[in-house]
Amino acid sequence: MTRQKKRVCIWAVVVLGFVALLAAQAVFPGLKLPGFTQLNPTTALAIFLAALFCEYLDSSLGMGYGTTLTPVLLLAGFAPLQIVPCVLLSEFVTGITAGLMHHRAGNVDFLRDRNARKTTILLSSLSVVGAVAAATLALNIPQWALKLFITIIVCGAGVTVLLTARRQLRYRSSHIVALGALAAFNKGLSGGGYGPLVTSGQVVSGVSSKNAVAITSLAEALTCIVGLVAYFVLRGHLELALAAPLVLGALCSVPVAALTVRRLSETTMRLGVGVATCSLGVFALIKLLW
């Protein structure tokens, strides 16, 4: 058995172990797992599986975790003030882990690749600027207009990625700055939409799709910690019962997502990023105009 197969087997055993424990908690009400005592056992299992699936997509394509998971949690009855900090925490933990796993798997080299380091630093630095700008302008500009503008840009970036999937693009740091600032602004204003803009924007700016996914994971983690600190300063409370299954489920997806990116070809990755970006953009546009 190869080393990769052994890792996948270990990952499967760990995930199935957590699923079995959470399922046992649902079957035997007297069994209480630490951190899961305040949630209905079936709800805890469903959140764990949803976080596992959404983070797998996010760590594989650089987008989709918060955009997909937040509406699901809202439908499950959680309040936005319960969801946002827990999603930020889970994205911070999994983003750091995903960045390290992508580096280890060879999808990116943060130590030797100057452009990868430069892009990560640029995107991370812009998170603070975007958050401040969002807070300043949110009261003066209609949110629907901003969301429509950003949604159109997401769709445009996705189409551009698809049209240039087989072309080698030259790296442009100026594009990274512009799209990074816009993505951070969107994150600070609406809490989502960071991954589609940043990942597709990097690809359009000449970053390889595998590097773009890894860089997005790390940069978004640093963006999330800024938002999480701000949340604690303003509110000072975290819903641990929701955070536990979110963080656990999301973390479990990271190792296999890094291996997935490693196995896919550059063209396949670019097509995947393009399709995912267009899909999320169209979904956001329909939701906005509905």
Alpha helices of 28-170 — where are they, by DSSP H?
41-61, 65-75, 80-105, 114-137, 143-163
> What's the confidence (pLDDT) of residue 11?
72
Q: How many CB atoms lie within 10 A of CB 283?
A: 15
CA nearest to 214, candidates 105, 114, 134:
105
* Distance in angstroms between the alpha carbons of the first and the last residue of the chain: 51
Q: Which amino acid is at 87?
A: V
Any idea what DSSP says for residue 112? T
Nearest in space to 67 (alpha carbons), one of 158, 194, 161, 152: 194
- The domain of 187 spans 3-289
Confidence (pTM):
0.77
Q: How many residues does the chain have?
A: 290
Q: Which two tokens stand for residue 63?
A: 């987008």
Q: Given this model, what pLDDT does residue 165 score?
A: 60
pLDDT at 190: 54
In the DSSP assignment, the letter for residue 171 is P
pLDDT at 206: 79
pLDDT < 50 stretches in the chain: 139
Number of domain units in the chain? 1
Give the pLDDT score at 255: 84
Residue 130: its pLDDT value, please? 65
35 phi-psi bin (left φ>0, alpha ψ -120 to 50, beta other) = left
Contact present, 63 and 216 (Cβ < 8 Å) = yes
